[in-house]
Amino acid sequence: MIPVVAVTEPWFALAEGPVWDAAGGRVLWIDIPEGLVLVGRLVGDHLAIETQHHFDSFVGAVALAADGSLLVAETYGLTCLQPDGTRIAGPTLVRPENEERLNDATCDAHGRLLVGTLSLQSAHHSQRLIQIGAASVEVLDDDLGLSNGLAFSPDGTLLYSVDSIPGTVWVRDYDQGSGAVGPRRLVLLLGDGTPDGMCADASGNLWIAIWGRGQVRCFSPAGKLLDTITVPAPHTSSVAFVGSDLDQLLITTARTDLSPAQLDEFPQSGSLFLARPGCVGLPTHLWSPAL
């Protein structure tokens, strides 16, 4: 059994989207319904919050640029938060009348952003996975239930993507140079629990947060279950390898959608946790600020 330790208090309604900032030795993450982008530093078994940035919207994801700028996926579009605090509006990707919002995201090796959408109502068969380059916006999928976790294989030639509503994980060929993608193929279909955030390790295995089950499961690239981490919070939401050696797995969780009885049973829900799974992760791809 892989032990986990809580590194924050259970402060967060829906913590998500952890990102390791190797240059700064920091962790970035978000609290979606609170509209927060948080920046912290690991000090032993504690994640100390250094900075909070508030947005008057949902925040679905955050990405980091080499100059320290942050790209924030708000409800409908992207915002660049510069190191001096200046905010610059980027492209709008979701029309308000569609009752959707932006959700999980990652960057490829050339700094393109990949970001998905989810429905705020019941349109669970028309959600999108979008690729944003310096001068292009491409829709890779438009038939998803709830676009969620994203990860690349160690050599960057494969893109894995989670569709949470049917519980599927897809894979497709990916050209890091051009951004061209191939047709998607099924990796696995979960029969229990909802796959949420995801990352890959240096061996190409996928670590997936299972919402509603209090677990992080590790799968081989072929979809074989290899390991399970149990977390004392039912709503595990996302994962990322962090630390100078990328050998610690940071796990985000949520308090939202839990009953008072569940919160009494799982009082650490809403905390961030650390585990040492015995492997190392992959470096963070940085976002290119050319919107």
Tens of pLDDT along the chain (291 residues) come to 899 999 999 999 999 999 999 999 999 999 999 999 999 999 988 999 999 999 999 999 999 999 999 999 999 999 999 999 999 999 999 988 889 999 999 999 999 999 999 999 876 789 999 999 988 899 999 999 999 999 999 999 999 999 999 999 999 999 999 999 999 999 999 989 999 999 999 999 999 999 999 999 999 999 999 999 999 999 999 999 999 999 999 999 999 999 999 999 999 999 999 999 999 999 999 999 765
Phi first, then psi, for residue 61 (nearest 5°) are -170, 165
How many whole angstroms separate alpha carbon 121 and alpha carbon 124?
Answer: 8
Look up residue 19 and give its two tokens. Answer: 């990102």
pLDDT for position 230: 98
Task: Spell out the domain ranges in the chain.
Answer: 4-275
pLDDT for position 4: 98
pLDDT for position 135: 82
Residues linked to residue 230 through DSSP beta bridges, in sequence order: 215
- HEC states along the chain? CCCEEECCCCCCCEEEEEEEECCCCEEEEEECCCCEEEEEEEECCEEEEEEEEECCCCEEEEEEECCCCEEEEECCEEEEECCCCCEEEEEECCCHHHCEEEEEEEECCCCCEEEEEEECCCCCCCEEEEEECCCCEEEEEEEECCEEEEEECCCCCEEEEEECCCCEEEEEEECCCCCCECCCEEEEECCCCEEEEEEEECCCCEEEEEECCCEEEEECCCCCEEEEEECCCCEEEEEEEECCCCCEEEEEEECCCCCHHHHHHCCCCCCEEEECCCCCECCCCCECCCC
How many whole angstroms separate alpha carbon 94 and alpha carbon 102?
Answer: 7
Angle (nearest 5°) at CA 158 between 249 and 245: 30
pLDDT for position 290: 65
CATH architecture, range 4-275: 6 Propeller (2.120)
User: Global pTM?
Assistant: 0.97
